[in-house]
Chain A
Amino acid sequence: MALKGNLRDFSTTQLLNLINLARKTGTLTVERNSKEVARMSFREGSLIFASVSHGNSRLSNILERAGKLSAEQANTIRKERGKAGDKELGMMLINAGLVSQADIIESVRRHTLEIVYRQFTWGEGVFRFDANVLPPPERITVPINLEGVIMEGSRRLKEGERLQDELPDLDMALKFADRPSAGIRNISLAVEEWRVVSFINPRNTIRQIAKANSMSDVQIRRIVYGMMHAGLVELVPCEGAKPTEPDRPERVAPGKRPAPMAQAPAVKRSVVMRLIDRIRRI
Chain B
Amino acid sequence: MQTVKMVVTGTFSAGKTEFIRSISEIDVVQTERKITNPAEQIKESTTVAMDFGRITVDDDLVLYLFGTPGQRRFDFMWEILSEGMLGFVVMVDSTRAETFQESKRILDTFRTYAPTPFVVAANKQDHPDAWEPSDLRIVLRIDPEVKVLPCVALEKDSVKTVLLELLYSILDSVEDEGESS
Contact = CB atoms under 8 A, between A and B. Distances in A.
Contacts of B75: 254-255
Interface in A223-282: 232, 244-245, 254-255, 257, 259-280, 282
Given A198-B81, A244-B83, A267-B181, A184 B31 contact: no
Interface stretch (A48-56, A136-144, A187-195): A187-195
B174 A262 contact: no
Contacts of A178: 1, 56, 62
A272 B81 CA distance: 20
A122 interface: no
A271 B114 contact: no
Contact of A265 (B23, B58, B61, B85): B85
Interface in B63-114: 63-64, 74-77, 79-87, 112-114
B83 A202 contact: no
Contacts of A270: 177
A69 interface: no
B42 interface: yes
A114 B42 CA distance: 14
B4 A265 contact: yes
Interface residues of A, number: 50
A124 B167 CA distance: 58
A260 B173 CA distance: 20
Contacts of B26: 180, 184
A189 B1 contact: no
B31 A265 contact: no
A126 interface: no
A66 interface: yes
A191 B48 contact: yes
A70 B49 CA distance: 29
A279 B164 contact: yes
A194 B112 CA distance: 21
Given A271-B2, A275-B4, A260 B84 contact: no
B170 A175 contact: no
Interface in B102-137: 112-116
B142 interface: no
Interface string A184-219: 110111110011001101100000000000000000
Contacts of A265: 4, 84-87, 114, 116, 170, 174
A188 B114 contact: no
The 8 closest A-B pairs by CB, nearest first: A198-B80, A254-B76, A266-B180, A278-B57, A188-B34, A265-B86, A272-B171, A190-B46
Given A278-B63, A279-B160, 12 more contacts: A180-B54, A188-B36, A190-B46, A194-B48, A199-B80, A260-B113, A265-B4, A271-B2, A275-B63, A275-B167, A276-B164, A282-B156
17 contacts: A176-B62, A184-B29, A190-B46, A191-B48, A191-B74, A201-B84, A254-B76, A260-B79, A260-B83, A261-B83, A261-B84, A264-B116, A269-B174, A273-B171, A274-B57, A275-B61, A278-B63
Interface of A: 66-67, 110, 114, 175-176, 178, 180, 184-185, 187-191, 194-195, 198-199, 201-202, 232, 244-245, 254-255, 257, 259-280, 282
